[in-house]
Amino acid sequence: MIGDILVHIPTERPQRPVVDASVSLAASFGAHLDAIAIGYICPATTFVPDPGGAAAVGAVFEAERGRATERAATELAIFETEARNAGIAYATHPTADRAGSANLNKAIGGISA
């Protein structure tokens, strides 16, 4: 029998089918449902055109990361409402795109060194 389910809640496309299916599946099996949402950051914001523009690109990247984190939190709030209404055991795990952050730090570090 299924006891634990992990579901990825999309932030860049409609999440409703994923939420409905995962909540329904968890309710049918009496399983605990863990939901994760990852706010993706547009790769174009990690491009550094020249050393003088690194600070500006960093500011744009931080703003985009904030929006990505906000999108993930919003999608998980929708999931949480549905899971609570269904009366299932659940947990949520919001996160931001760490790979993009590492790439930007590496790019800026390479320029200033």
Treating both helix axes as pointing N-terminal to C-terminal, what angle do 16-29 and 54-86 enclose, rounded to 10 degrees?
40
Q: What is the pLDDT of residue 77?
A: 93
Q: What is the pLDDT of residue 2?
A: 84
Q: What is the pLDDT of residue 112?
A: 38
Give the residue extent of every domain in the chain. 4-112
Largest interatomic CA distance in the chain: 58
Mean model confidence pLDDT for the chain: 78
**88, 29 in Cβ contact below 8 A?**
no
Q: What is the pLDDT of residue 80?
A: 94
Residue-wise pLDDT for 37-94, tens only, equals: 988 776 665 555 666 666 667 777 788 888 888 888 899 999 999 999 999 999 988 7
At residue 90, what are phi and psi to the nearest 5 degrees? Answer: -155, 165
Q: Does the structural domain 4-112 have CATH classification 3.20.20.70?
A: no
